[in-house]
A = this chain, B = another copy of it.
Amino acid sequence: MIAGPLATIDLGVIAENLLTLQIMCGNTEVAATIKADGYGLGAIRLAKTLYGAGCRTFYVAHLEEALAVRALHADTTIYVLHGIPKGHETEAFEKNITPIITDLGTLTRMRETAKNIGKAIPVNLHVDTGMNRIGFGATEWNMLVHTPSLIDGVDVKMVMSHFACSDEPLHPMNEQQREKFIGATKHFVSAKKTLANSHGVFLGSQMHFDQVRPGRALSGTNGLKGLKNALSVHAPIIQLRSIDSNGTVGYGATQRVQKGMRLAALAYGYADGLHRVFSNSDQTTGHHFYLHGIAVPVIGRVSMDLVMVDVSKVPENLVHVGGMVEIVGAHQSIDDWAAQIGTIGYELMTHLGNRIERSYIEVKS
């Protein structure tokens, strides 16, 4: 039922992007980060597609996300960035879900679990290299590498870290993080190493180590070279109106309209992920979508289920109820759209609401 907004996701493009990344990375494994419901595109559909294209390793943030991905295939490695919540350690082990350990406290919990079940538990150790977010800090890491008993019963399969500024290729922190990472991982000779997220892949092969773990790059939505965009978003016109007399539009009566203007109401509101700061296009903000390639400015406040756009510049015979207005597509990428409100495409992708129908273009076999 196309009654509301529609996101079209081309799974063939996503499979192709994985192969492009794999060619770029040579012998380095390309894992896929599909947390936050695959950045809003649908983690399950992405995981199936990427598996079909050869991917066998997935990163998610929460255990629940990991369990959903495990239900698809038995022969994948699944890493959980936030680790395993207390009380679920054995369940995670039995489901072959690998925790990412970020501090000594959670490491202790894993060691105790290993002791209880009498088997070694595979883990991925996340060492912080300057982001100061999650991951072992310098003091704890130093303690860890000099106290072998701390990893009794855990099998360190992988050591990872995370870039803070990889979207700025010339930022000095990238190289500093690489050097810190090499220093930190030399203590785990037999473990594999991974540092690069989507943008990290494009910093060069010195950042690839044994594995890269792109997320959004797989959808080609962030303009990285050689990758194709897999996403478009459209919203239907549910009513057209010619303004009868000068007045205002929407909540708070914040924007004036003139007699004769033609407005279209779109079924796309803040509940669907259109932030309220998109309200009231003017010469400064310029908030707009596209209809038949013509920019249509946002008029009045964005409301929960609706937004009004000015379609006066679009020929009348091209505007009708049921017509789809382009939010993201040929005329603006999700990053262009996000830039209108000073944010990044990542945020708006993960805010694509539940009422937006996801339509998938299947991989051609």
The interface of chain A, by Cβ under 8 A from chain B, is 1-4, 35-37, 39-40, 61-65, 81-83, 85-86, 88, 102-103, 105-106, 128, 130-134, 137-139, 164-165, 168, 171, 173, 238-245, 247-253, 257, 263, 265, 267, 269-271, 273, 275-277, 300, 303-306, 308, 321-322, 343-344, 346-347, 350-351, 353-355
Q: Is the interface of A mostly helix, strand, loop or mixed?
A: loop
Query: Are B164 and A267 in touch, CB under 8 angstroms?
Result: no
User: Chain B residues with Cβ under 8 A from A40's Cβ?
Assistant: 271
User: Chain B residues with Cβ under 8 A from A35's Cβ?
Assistant: 271, 304-305
Give the distance in Å from the alpha carbon of A65 to the alpha carbon of B173 in the complex.
48
User: Chain B residues with Cβ under 8 A from A267's Cβ?
Assistant: 61-62, 82
Give the distance in Å from the alpha carbon of A86 to the alpha carbon of B261 in the complex.
26
Query: Are A64 and B355 in touch, CB under 8 angstroms?
Result: yes
Give the distance in Å from the alpha carbon of A303 to the alpha carbon of B130 in the complex.
15
Question: B88, B130, B253, B306: which contacts A1 (Cβ < 8 A)?
Answer: B88
Shortest A5–chain B CB gap in Å is 10
Given contacts A36-B304, A83-B238, A347-B270, contact A250 B131 (CB under 8 A): yes
Give the distance in Å from the alpha carbon of A102 to the alpha carbon of B173 in the complex.
56
User: Chain B residues with Cβ under 8 A from A1's Cβ?
Assistant: 63-64, 85, 88
Q: Which residue of the partner chain B has the closest CB to A273?
A: B351
Query: Are B138 and A300 in touch, CB under 8 angstroms?
Result: no
Give the distance in Å from the alpha carbon of A350 to the alpha carbon of B139 in the complex.
41
Query: Are B250 and A88 in touch, CB under 8 angstroms?
Result: no
User: Chain B residues with Cβ under 8 A from A251's Cβ?
Assistant: 131, 164-165
User: Chain B residues with Cβ under 8 A from A105's Cβ?
Assistant: 321
Give the distance in Å from the alpha carbon of A64 to the alpha carbon of B267 in the complex.
13
Query: Are A133 and B306 in touch, CB under 8 angstroms?
Result: yes
Given contacts A2-B85, A82-B3, A253-B164, contact A350 B304 (CB under 8 A): yes
Give the distance in Å from the alpha carbon of A267 to the alpha carbon of B35 in the complex.
13
Q: Which residue of the partner chain B has the closest CB to A36?
A: B271
Query: Are B238 and A355 in touch, CB under 8 angstroms?
Result: no
Shortest A45–chain B CB gap in Å is 15
Q: Which residue of the partner chain B has the closest CB to A245?
A: B138
Query: Are A240 and B62 in touch, CB under 8 angstroms?
Result: no
Query: Are B138 and A304 in touch, CB under 8 angstroms?
Result: no
Give the distance in Å from the alpha carbon of A344 to the alpha carbon of B269 in the complex.
14
Give the distance in Å from the alpha carbon of A106 to the alpha carbon of B171 in the complex.
56
Shortest A13–chain B CB gap in Å is 22
Give the distance in Å from the alpha carbon of A39 to the alpha carbon of B354 in the complex.
12
Query: Are B63 and A250 in touch, CB under 8 angstroms?
Result: no
Query: Are A250 and B164 in touch, CB under 8 angstroms?
Result: yes
Give the distance in Å from the alpha carbon of A269 to the alpha carbon of B305 in the complex.
24
22 A–B contacts from the bound complex (CB under 8 Å): A3-B88, A4-B82, A35-B271, A35-B304, A40-B271, A62-B305, A82-B267, A86-B322, A128-B241, A131-B253, A132-B248, A132-B250, A133-B250, A134-B238, A137-B244, A138-B244, A139-B244, A271-B350, A275-B347, A276-B344, A350-B353, A354-B354
